[in-house]
């Protein structure tokens, strides 16, 4: 196992450090612009789309899309009970700190690292499918989280323009 860690390319450790950095930042309550909230879901969406377009198996394409949208629906359902503090003037959203993102980022890294290693050494198609299932679902959850926050943001702007000032809970 130590030889595997030693043989890991330097850029992989950079990605790991970046994920830890993002996860630690997410522990604190902070105000974030809508643009910054969109970065991770957009990157994951385009990575998922690229992988889907490269796939040659129609069943795999269908399953990938279904898993992505299942992740979106799960996020929409789970986050419906969350409340967000939206500052319309500064166009920011106050996000409560949570260890969930640190766990998700580290889980993604660990899964990709493990499956990448196993794929390189074992060439198992089952591992490739399992990694794909997890990737598309997690990507969908990030997309659904952003859609929930964006929807709340748009609703708050509409209410503000109509003179309605109230707490917004979806």
Residue 62 has pLDDT above 50, yes or no: yes
Residue 8 is given by DSSP the state: S
Residue 86 phi/psi, 5-degree rounding, is -110, 125
| Sheet arrangement for strand 30-33 | 30-33, 92-95, 85-87
State how beta strands 30-33 and 85-87 pair.
unpaired
Contact partners, residue 60, CB within 8 Å, separation at least 6: 129, 132
pLDDT tier at 81, thresholds 50, 70, 90: low
Residue-wise pLDDT tens digits, 92-111: 888 777 777 788 778 777 77
The span from the first CA to the last CA of the chain, in angstroms, equals: 47
Sign of the torsion formed by the C-alpha atoms of 64, 70, 71 and 76? positive
Residue 124 has pLDDT above 70, yes or no: no
Instruction: With respect to residue 74, please indicate whether it lies within any of the assigned structural domains.
Output: yes
CA distance 21 to 12: 14
Instruction: With respect to residue 71, please indicate whether it lies within any of the assigned structural domains.
Output: yes
Instruction: With respect to residue 118, please indicate whether it lies within any of the assigned structural domains.
Output: yes
Domain that holds residue 101: 2-161
Distance of CA 71 to the CA centre of its chain: 10
Contact between residue 148 and residue 164 where contact means Cβ atoms under 8 Å apart: no
Instruction: With respect to residue 69, please indicate whether it lies within any of the assigned structural domains.
Output: yes
Mean model confidence pLDDT for the chain:
78
Residue-wise pLDDT tens digits, 126-144: 766 777 788 888 889 888 8
In this predicted structure, which of 12-21, 83-92, 148-157 has the lowest mean pLDDT? Answer: 83-92
Instruction: With respect to residue 168, please indicate whether it lies within any of the assigned structural domains.
Output: no
What is the per-residue burial (b if ≥16 Cβ within 10 Å, else e) of 8-36? eeeeeeeebeebeeebeebeeeeeeeeee
What is the mean pLDDT of the segment spanning 38-50? 84
CA distance 76 to 149: 10
pLDDT of residue 105: 77
State the total domains in the chain: 1
Instruction: With respect to residue 153, please indicate whether it lies within any of the assigned structural domains.
Output: yes
Instruction: With respect to residue 166, please indicate whether it lies within any of the assigned structural domains.
Output: no
């Amino acid at each position: 196992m130590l030889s595997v860690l030693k043989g890991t390319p330097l850029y992989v450790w950079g990605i790991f450090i970046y994920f830890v950095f993002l996860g630690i930042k997410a522990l604190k309550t902070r105000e974030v612009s809508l643009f910054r909230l969109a970065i991770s879901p957009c990157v994951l969406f385009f990575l998922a789309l690229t992988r889907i377009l490269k796939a040659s198996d129609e069943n795999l394409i269908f399953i990938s899309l279904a898993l992505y949208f299942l992740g979106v629906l799960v996020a929409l359902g789970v986050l419906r009970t969350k409340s967000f503090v939206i500052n319309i003037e500064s166009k920011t959203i106050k996000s409560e700190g949570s260890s969930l993102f640190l766990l998700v980022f580290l889980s993604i890294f660990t899964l990709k690292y493990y499956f990448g290693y196993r794929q390189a050494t074992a060439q198992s198609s089952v591992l490739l499918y399992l990694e794909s299932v997890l990737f598309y679902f997690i990507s969908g959850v990030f997309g659904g989280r952003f859609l929930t926050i964006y929807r709340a943001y748009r609703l708050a702007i509409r209410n503000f323009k109509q003179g309605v000032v109230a707490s917004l809970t979806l």
